[in-house]
Every structure is written in structure tokens, then in C-alpha cells.
Structure 1
Amino acid sequence: MDNLTTDIVAKLWNLCNVLKDDGVTYHQYVTELTYLLFLKMAKETGTEEQIPDGYRWDNLINKPKLERLEAYKITLIHLETHGAQIVREIFSNASSSIKKPATLSKLVEGIDKLAWYNAEREDLGNIYEGLLEKNASEKKSGAGQYFTARSLIDSLVTVMKPTLDDIIQDPAAGTGGFLIAANQYIRQHSQPEHWNDKQQDKYRRNTFYGMEHVHDTHRLALMNLFLHGIDYNPAAGGIHYGDTLSPDGQKLPPATLILSNPPFGSKKGGGVPERTDLPYPTSNKQFCFLQHIYLRLKPGGRAAVVLPDNALFEGNVGKQIRADLMEKCNLHTILRLPTGIFYAQGVKTCVIFFTRGQTDQGNTNEIWVYDLRANMPQYGKRTHLTREHFSEFEAAFGNDPWGGPEALAQRQDQGVTNRFRCFSRKWISQNNDNLDISWLKDESEELPEPGVLARDLIDELEGALAELRGIMEELGEEVEA
């Protein structure tokens, strides 16, 4: 972020202190701020025609202080059913957590005083995304699970090279980071001012698709896309409200590029998804999302997916899904990520890169593993993960986002003392299709905190219990809840 963006983000976040005495939580604050910023930024971007007259920013700021809160609450109710589609979606089921008129006035006047006139439209989007990142970094907000580090997103987008010809999907969209980064990459690597009408229509209506099932997070995602210039159309592109692991997910169109960081853990209640098209139903959410992703890729489509490490080695249904993935797709690269870059310390994650085959058999011949975890710093608030940390990986990955045979032949196995190595499909098969492959001795690795170990054990036990329940149900045995 540049200095202007950083300054405005800091000032917006400091306004949170105004709300603390009114009992407003971090997450409520960001949601509350979204309503107000939409009104303010619609004015700044010249798009106020989407909002009915009488319910715009100037109408609110010109109200007497004691009348503002009541007028604001009426505005929230009115905009749920009036205005453009994006307005109705952002203000769907909107309500205010603010109780005191003076609190709202301080917030409104604080926003109005900021130097918005210096910011371009893209800067406004970056300001809002900076606010989401700030919220995600606060443990008390609980928002970290909906936010992926921008440095990681930008690196994945760079190696996957989205184009205007792509149909791009994120089935676990969160606040929209992957789609926004893909949009920026496309615009930076083409000439949007020279797109013809057909290309413009393709860009607006048939390029970006996502789904998010948490209502407030969906609201934040729509605001994020709006500020980055991505249209929302309920009959076409944009991030839709729904559960990808329900029949809603089958409405997402087949894609040529999927970029995603699905939620970790087991489905609440231990049940399997409502969808009937997943060949290996399981309560494990990341395995269900992974199946959705490789099944919704068009032949020749490519994907980069962030997963917890247990998806690489878990047995039973996990092994079946990995084997199915390697049959249907060319799983050509695994990136072992550093620890500490997600909301829960100690969570180990990776990125898998694969391309859907033209047929559904024998597509994976070799897998390249890049270890960016061993002998790396513990990232967090003190040590930030930056784009530079991915530069050597990007160079080793190469320029072919599909991982084709010619590109893989140009890669160099760096040997047992370095970070990039190649493993044959035969070798992987002999190792029980376990993809949790490491070879470097990690001199920096410390024993995880007891809480991390306990959580990992609970996840393993819950997964095992879910599998046992499934076996008993198949045998016709009654299973106690």
C-alpha cells in the first residue's frame, strides 16, 4: 500500500475506538463501516445514481447530529429494497449496532474529513482491502479465516497468468481477494481501452464467478469488488451468496481457472454435503471443495488451491480423492507454505497446482514439490510475509501456468539439499499416495504449542469418527449422534 492508502486505513481503523464504548465488536465495526463507506465512496466515484435520491451520503451528513442515527437506520431499511442490484445486495438484512446518536456522528464526520479527493478508484479498493486485512489480523475479530494474505494471492495469480479469455472461479470467495487480484493482473497485462464490445461484454458478464455462504462476508466481498470496478450481476458474474457444498455450488459454471483457499475443518454436525455429484462424500470440507474444484474445471482448465497439509496425507477417503485427482488432472506442483501465515498459529498449509486432462485417466506423471517452509522465519505480526519471499518459487515454477510436458522438462531438480525436487507418480504410488513430501531438515522448527497439538488431534479424531459413522451407515447399523 502507498502512504495515502496506509494513512487512510489507519485513520479508519482508529475510528473503531469511537465505537468500543457503544459495545460494537471489530467485525460489527467493519460491517458498519461498509454501509457508510458505500454511501461515501459512491459519491467519490460518481456512481450515486445507483442509490435513490434522499438516501445518499450528503443527505446523511447534512442531517442535524441528533437526527442522524434515526435517518441512518431508515436508510439501511430503505436500501435493502431500493436502488441498483449491488445496493440491494450490500444492504440486504442490514442493521446498525450503533446505539448513541453521538457515536454515529463522530464516525460519519471522521469519514467525511478524510482526504478521499486524492484517491483514484483503484486506491479506494486498496483502502477497503487494507481495512479487511487489518480486521483479519485482529484475533478478536475472528475474520482471519476469510482473508488470504495478499502476497500469497499475488504470487499464485502471477504463476497462473489469468487472461480475458478465462472463466475464473473461486468457490470459497471470502472477501474476494483472488478474483480482485486476477482482475488487476488481466488489466495490467492487456489494453482494456482497446477491448472491443464483445470483449467488454465477456469481461463484465462472463469472467469472474465466486460463492460465499457467510452473509456478512458476502457483503464485504461485494463492496470489495465494487470498489475494484468488478460488476455484480445476479444472472451472470460476481460473488453469489450460497453454499458451494449444497446444490448452490452446481450453479457455478465450468471454469478455465480456479483460484481458491477453501475453509479448513469438518462440516458442522459431522454430516456430508447435500450435493449428490461429489464421488467421495465426506464431512471434511477441504476434501469436498477439492472435488468441486477439479470436477468443475473444463478440460485443459487449471487451478491453484490452498489446502491444509492433512489433505496431502489423510487416509481412507482422502487417499481416494487424491488418487482420483491425479487420474483426472495433471497435479504437477505442490508448494509447501511457511507456517504462521494464516489466522491460527501452527496451521501447516500448502498450495497444489493442477490442470484438468482432456481425458480422465493417467494425467499425473510426476509432481514437483517446492519447500518454502523449512528453515524459514515464523511469520506473523512481527515478521511479515512479502511478495519477495515467493520470487525464487515463481522463477522455479516457470512461465507455463498449465505445467505442460515441455515446461516440466525445463525444470531443474535441485537435489536433496535444496528446495525444489521432482517425484514420479510411480514413487508416490509406492508411498501410498502420500503427498506430504519433505526432505530438508528444518533447523528452525520448534515443537508446536500444546493448543495447536490438541486441535490437530481433535481434527484427526473427528475425521476418523466421521469415516466410521459412514461405514456403519453403509452396513445398515444405527449410529448415535
Structure 2
Amino acid sequence: MNSSTLIQKIWNFCHTLRDDGIGYGDYLEQITYLLFLKLAHEYSQPPYKRDTHVPKEYDWTTLRSLSGSKLESQYLKTLNKLGKESGMLGAIFFKAQNKIQDPAKLSRLVQMIDGESWISLGTDTKGDMYEGLLQKNAEDTKSGAGQYFTPRALIDAIVACVRPEPMKTIADPACGTGGFFLSAYNWLSGQHPQYELDKKLDTPKQTKRQKEFLRDETFHGNEIVPSTRRLCLMNLFLHNIGELDGEPSVERADALLTQPSTLYDYVLANPPFGKKSSMTITNEEGEEDKDQLTYERQDFWATTTNKQLNFLQHIVSMLKPDGQAAVVLPDNVLFEGGVGEKIRRKWLDNCDVHTILRLPTGIFYANGVKANVVFFDNKPKDGKVHTKGIWFYDLRTNKHFTLKTKSMQLNDLQEFIKCYNPVDRHKRKEAERFKYYKYKDLIARDKASLDVFWLKDDSLENLDNLPPPDILQQEIIDHLEAALNAFRDVAAGLPVSKLEN
């Protein structure tokens, strides 16, 4: 069975559960629990005979032999027990809950998972199936899952520019469902879609040691949301990253709280959007509250509650002296004054910020996002100014995308990849959408703003050049959402007034 047929089969069952009020995210979590148990069972059988650390009375064989209320009771016991285990097992089942209240439907789902030999499907099919489910979940805008899912075409283009090398470490301090890790894995294993688009690229040949390093030692992430971390770990595992009986490569911790103890060769990331840093605290009753955070870090250039600026400073601190980063950042990081300007100037001085890709609206699942990809290299702290100039690629002006009718594809980013010139970025040439600005000219701009444009918006001069109505409508929504988000950030920083009796 190919991945598209499998995705459809599994996803069709979700529509049945929707009638019971079970959302896409809840369904995906139940799939994750059951699929992990089934895979653990298959690995425990000949010829593998691996110790999966799943207690016998809570394994797949026990679960699939039951039905009705006995199945429901056993499922609850299994989720509770496995969530207290160590390693990958405990990470997958951490605070797991049964959201399927109808035992008959739970039994059908168990039977559907049991009906496939998942190991024999191959990594591509299993991985594509799960990625497909994650994307469908992200498309459900009401669930909010889209904020943890970066468009894969954009990620693939970023990785095709960075071209990570084997036997080097890759980190993501806010890894969501693991998109950057998967794309980097595909690049290093010769499965990246850019190899098909660019015939000049040589498909890498891996040694045994390189394969082991890629599976067990390359990737290091953080994801503070337990349910998203669970989906990420399962996504990586199905793509042959990590071991069933090993330690999880993604920590469930706020990456910003402490200075990193390990430095990395690459950081690829799309930190969460929204300017204010906050910590969500869940009490024993499941009620949530958010406390605004100001991170006091001795290694930061400045103290701020701005989450984006904190992530930028943290990512710089994660890099080895010659480490490379590619980070998705919102527009405010490029132009904000005050502490934003101070951090930006330090960033340009301490790192070689060499490329900024201005992204169009309509490509993210979260509305109101106006963002950029910033490529930079860390440099030694020697007091020198390391940014000589920045190349800007404008993919925003006169470019129109929507998630449903005209989604961004990797082909849409081929011109940028060519201009980036991954083979030797020091031999670039200017083009209509690709311009170079010297450091001295950028630093002389008001607030050292990097919010640079030079192309004219054709629709402002000629109504015939307006995009189609559906795209225009979405762009208006995106602009309004961006404005609302900015107002919310301002409101969040205002003191709370108290009414007098």
C-alpha cells in the first residue's frame, strides 16, 4: 500500500470520530500511541527480537486481544503505565490520555493499525504517511496546530542552501513537529527533493559510521509543548531518526531558560511567532495560566520580553565559533527600535549576517505572519565587525501564494537557491530580486533597520495587475491579522488598571 492510500485510509476514520467531537490533533495523538505500540511489538518479534522495554501486560498483544469496556480499561492503564517509563517510551506516552470515548471505535482503530505490517512498509511510506497526517492537522486552522508546522517547501529550500555536511550536529531550539530535522536527514541521506530538481548535484554515499551518526547523534532539539514534542519524536522515529529503546533527541524544556551546555555546527529553526515570551503553567486540575517571562541570561546582549529577540540571541549562543544558522524571523526583528536595535547591531558585529530572504504572505498556517529567513555564520569574539554586507532576496513584492489554491512549492524557490549560490556564496551576482547592501549603508539607516525593499508593487500602479480575488482576500486578512497581533503585543505590555470600588 502506498503512502497516499494509507494516509487516506487512516484519515477517513477521523471523519467518523469527528462526529464524537474528537479533533484532528486528538486523533493524531491516538494514532501515535497505537502505532508506536504496534511497531514495538513488531520489533520484539523475530528476526529483530529487540528489547523494547514495553512491559508484557501493557504490550500490543494484550491490547488487541480485548474489546468493549475491557479494551477501554486496558488502554487507559497502558497509557498511564507507559507514560511513567524512561527513555523514548516515556516521552511518547508522557501525560497520554484516551480521547476516544466509544470502545467500538477504539476497537476499529486498533484493528486498522493491527492490519498493517508497519516495518515491511519501509521508511519512506511510514514517514510520508505520518508527515501527511501532520500536514492535514496543520491545515485545521481552528486547532492552532499550524503554528508548529513550517511549510516543507520552505524548509527544503533552506536546507538546499545550507547543505549540511555529514558527521556534524544540527539543532533546533523550537523544533515543532521536526520539519528541519527531516529535511536535513533527507539531504544527508540523498533523499532530498532538490536532488531531483538539480541534476548537477551528486547524491551522497554514506559510510556505515555516517549512517549511525545521522540516526543517533546528528539531531538535537527542544519542544516545550508536550503534545507537539510527542508528534515530533514519532515523526523522527518513523523516518529512522533515533532508536525505539533509546533516549529522545528532543527535550521537553524551554530552551531559553539556560545557556546551552553544548555547541552545534548548524542551527535551523522557525521559533514561535508572537513577540511576548510567556510560560504556560498547568495545575493538577488541568487549568492553564500564562506568566510573562523576562529571561536573565548573562550571555545575552540585552534583556527583553520579546520572544523573537530572545530566540535570536539564544541561537547565536548555541553555535560553534564557525557554526551556521538559518532562522525564520518576523519583520519586527529587522526594524524594531530600542532593545531591538541594540541586539541587531550586536548581531551584525558578532556574526556574519550574509543573506535575508523576504518571504511573501500566505505561506504559513498561522495568519498574519510577515517573515524572513536570515542566514548567518557565527564568528570568533575578537572585537571585529564580521558582517561586511547583506544580500537580500525579495520573494514578497508581486508574489502571491495561498495555502489552498496556490501553495508555495520548492520550484518557486529555485531562483533564490540559484542566487544564493550554495557552492560558493562569495561569488554571487545581483539580479532583479537579489541585491547587495554594504554594512556601512545598513548600519547608517534609521535604527539600523534591515527592512529593505526596492521593487515596486505593480498592483499599486495598475489595477489590472491585482492578484485573483481569493489571493487578494487572503492577503488582506494576513495584513489585518498582522496589525491585530501588533496591537495585542502592545496591550500585553501595558499595566493592568484596577477599578475603584
The TM-score with structure 1 as length reference comes to: 0.87
1:460 aligned residue: 486
In the alignment, the residues of structure 1 paired with residue 102 and residue 247 of structure 2 have an alpha-carbon distance, to the nearest angstrom, of: 41
| Alignment map for 1:69-218 (pairs within 5 Å) | 69-82=72-85, 85-113=87-115, 116=118, 119-188=121-190, 189-192=203-206, 194-196=207-209, 202-218=213-229
2:392 maps to a residue whose letter is V
In the alignment, is the contact (CA less than 8 A) between 1:301 and 1:356 conserved in 2?
yes
1:436 aligned residue: 451
Deviates more, 1:204-213 or 1:48-57: 48-57
Residue in structure 1 matching 2:413, options 372, 390, 397 = 390
In the alignment, the residues of structure 2 paired with residue 116 and residue 62 of structure 1 have an alpha-carbon distance, to the nearest angstrom, of: 19
In the alignment, is the contact (CA less than 8 A) between 1:169 and 1:210 conserved in 2?
yes
2:199 aligned residue: none
SS in 2 for 1:35: helix
Residue in structure 2 matching 1:62, options 65, 70, 77 = 65
Structure 1 residues 254 and 380: alpha-carbon distance in aligned structure 2, compared to 1, 3 A threshold: same
Structure 1 residues 466 and 296: alpha-carbon distance in aligned structure 2, compared to 1, 3 A threshold: farther
Residue in structure 2 matching 1:11, options 4, 9, 12 = 9
Residue in structure 1 matching 2:346, options 313, 324, 333 = 324
Per the TM alignment, residue 76 of structure 1 is displaced from its structure 2 partner at its CA by: 1.0
Residues 1-21 of structure 1, C-alpha deviations (whole Å, 9 max, x = no match)? xx8111211221221123223
SS in 2 for 1:410: coil
In the alignment, is the contact (CA less than 8 A) between 2:224 and 2:252 conserved in 1?
yes
Structure 1 residues 448 and 281: alpha-carbon distance in aligned structure 2, compared to 1, 3 A threshold: farther
SS in 2 for 1:11: helix
Residues 400-427 of structure 1, C-alpha deviations (whole Å, 9 max, x = no match)? 4xxxxxx34421112xxx1111111111
1:472 aligned residue: none
1:437 maps to a residue whose letter is V
Structure 1 residues 261 and 480: alpha-carbon distance in aligned structure 2, compared to 1, 3 A threshold: same
SS in 1 for 2:408: coil
Structure 1 residues 393 and 450: alpha-carbon distance in aligned structure 2, compared to 1, 3 A threshold: closer
In the alignment, is the contact (CA less than 8 A) between 1:246 and 1:273 conserved in 2?
yes
Deviates more, 1:53-62 or 1:143-152: 53-62
Residue identity (%): 39
Residue in structure 1 matching 2:234, options 223, 227, 232 = 223
Per the TM alignment, residue 44 of structure 1 is displaced from its structure 2 partner at its CA by: 4.9
1:267 aligned residue: 277
1:287 aligned residue: 309
In the alignment, is the contact (CA less than 8 A) between 2:146 and 2:365 conserved in 1?
yes
Structure 1 residues 232 and 113: alpha-carbon distance in aligned structure 2, compared to 1, 3 A threshold: closer
Residues 47-77 of structure 1, C-alpha deviations (whole Å, 9 max, x = no match)? 7631232433333222234422112111112
Per the TM alignment, residue 439 of structure 1 is displaced from its structure 2 partner at its CA by: 1.3
1:35 maps to a residue whose letter is Y
Unaligned runs of 5+ in 2: 191-202, 279-290, 459-465
1:261 maps to a residue whose letter is N
2:434 aligned residue: 420
In the alignment, the residues of structure 2 paired with residue 120 and residue 274 of structure 1 have an alpha-carbon distance, to the nearest angstrom, of: 46
Deviates more, 1:171-180 or 1:55-64: 55-64
Structure 1 residues 367 and 395: alpha-carbon distance in aligned structure 2, compared to 1, 3 A threshold: same
The TM-score with structure 2 as length reference comes to: 0.83
Structure 1 residues 11 and 35: alpha-carbon distance in aligned structure 2, compared to 1, 3 A threshold: same
Size of the aligned set, in residue pairs, is 455
Structure 1 residues 426 and 235: alpha-carbon distance in aligned structure 2, compared to 1, 3 A threshold: farther
Residue in structure 2 matching 1:372, options 379, 391, 395 = 395
In the alignment, the residues of structure 1 paired with residue 179 and residue 254 of structure 2 have an alpha-carbon distance, to the nearest angstrom, of: 18
2:63 maps to a residue whose letter is L
In the alignment, is the contact (CA less than 8 A) between 1:145 and 1:263 conserved in 2?
yes
In the alignment, is the contact (CA less than 8 A) between 2:330 and 2:369 conserved in 1?
yes
Residues 121-157 of structure 1, C-alpha deviations (whole Å, 9 max, x = no match)? 2321221111111100111221000011111111111
| Alignment map for 1:22-33 (pairs within 5 Å) | 22-33=20-31
Structure 1 residues 109 and 218: alpha-carbon distance in aligned structure 2, compared to 1, 3 A threshold: same
Per the TM alignment, residue 232 of structure 1 is displaced from its structure 2 partner at its CA by: 6.0
